[in-house]
Amino acid sequence: MRNSILLLCLWSVYCCFAAGGPAPLGPEGGLEDEPHKSRDVQPAAKPSVKFSLVISEDQKHEGCDLSLGRDQPLEDCGFNMTAKTFFIIHGWTMSGLFERWLYKLVSALQTREKEANVVVVDWLPLAHQLYRDAVNNTRVVGHDVARMLDWLQGKDGFSLRNVHLIGYSLGAHVAGYAGNFVKGTVGRITAIAEGVQCEHERAVHLFVDSLVNQDKPSFAFQCTDSNRFKKGICLSCRKNRCNSIGYNAKKMRNKRNSKMYLKTRAGMPFRVYHYQMKIHVFSYKYMGEIEPTFYVTLYGTNADSQNLPLEIVEQIGLNATNSFLVYTEEDLGDLLKIKLTWKGTPQSWYSLWRELRSYLSQPRKSERELNIRRIRVKSGETQQKLTFCAEDLENTSISPGQELWFHKCRDGWRMKNETSPTVELP
């Protein structure tokens, strides 16, 4: 689980790309002048953009080329007019060749949607340029995709509602232009790769994962910044604040740009299980700064977790409720109990410095004692809230090197007649 948080910008492409009107075709099949859209679009340089219908799972097979205005290749290639149609649009390239992710994505689509048409939009000659020039070419390629879609709309059984444009990197720009220029509204446009703040190609693998592991969808949560997410504060699904990612993502209307966060596993399936832990920490003896090294182990009906660290994003608040994010790679089932451990052995020089600073500020060992009566837990995936109470309510203190056990005592977070502990300082 050595992975950083992924930040996803899920575009509401369904609104913004369909807002403009279509780019009409002239009598020769070319684009007519339109002041606000197409006047400044230049014809694509040869070789032109190619549309290849994938008809074999063999990567060495180049596919079946479709040509605008020619009906025979549609019949020869076995294009299914009533089925879903996916257009895969690659991005900028340094090599001038397709990258490996494209073949993985094609294979995953063929496995998930066996009757669908999978079309690869090959604009390699225009993408294998200086990056700035490739960016400028995306508008031209978007026009070519729109023209192909407009032509297909004239065929019996074909519907834009069955079209899904999938753009990676600059291919996302192409998909956006195509959605803007086409006559009508495309069923779906996916550009998830443009917003992932991590390894660029990982976005494609997340999308592939959503296709081949549909029973294990990964969920992302809307949050204003990473620190709030690291505290577990943002695990809410109210008012569309969470969404599955990739192929299974739901349309999010009225939101142009939302920051979505999630944790992932190192490899497929990427899904993990997020938990918020709210712990009220108080001390009868000390009110100064303290930085304990807490770990939790979660015990469920299906499995038990590893020893999970509670990351302290900010200073621990004494006589206050602190919130943490933990995540597990396995589905633990219904949580039954929690073990909280305060490790006393520093794990790094930084940890050693923190321990020394804490010791100097509170030299007596007896004062390095905290009390925790209960832990509140919220599951991000199920939205279930649970309360866990200390196993021994007469002994809720914990010091470095010790542990406390908590058992499920209530569904939900509210406790009847709950009052905060009274703290008396010497």
Going from N- to C-terminal start, the domains of the chain cover: 50-211, 273-345+368-408
| The pLDDT value given to residue 197 | 43
| The pLDDT value given to residue 38 | 43
For strands 397-398 and 6-11, give the pairing: unpaired
Q: Give me the mean pLDDT over the 113-134 stretch.
A: 95
Q: Averaging pLDDT over each range in 150-164, 276-290, 312-326, 341-355, which range is the top one? A: 150-164
Least confident of 42-46, 79-83, 118-122, 199-203: 42-46
Q: At residue 1, does pLDDT exceed 50?
A: no
What mean pLDDT, rounded, does the chain reach?
82
Q: Give me the mean pLDDT over the 285-309 stretch.
A: 90
For residue range 14-29, list pLDDT tens digits in order: 222 322 333 332 333 3
Distance CA 231, CA 229 (A): 5
Give the architecture-level CATH label for domain 50-211: 3-Layer(aba) Sandwich (3.40)
Percent of the chain with pLDDT over 70: 77
Q: At residue 419, does pLDDT exceed 60?
A: no
**DSSP per-residue string spanning 34-98:** -TTTTTTPPPPPSSPPEEEE---S-TT---EEE-TT-SHHHHHHT--TTS-EEEEE----SSSS-
Token match 């699904």: residue?
237
Closest CA to 104 of 204, 191, 27, 14: 204
Q: What are the tokens at 216? A: 């294990």
Residue type, 90: H
pLDDT top residue among 336 and 365: 336
Least confident of 185-194, 245-254, 347-356: 347-356
pLDDT top residue among 156 and 8: 156
Q: Give me the mean pLDDT over the 263-292 stretch.
A: 89
Q: Give me the mean pLDDT over the 221-243 stretch.
A: 94
Give the architecture-level CATH label for domain 273-345+368-408: Sandwich (2.60)
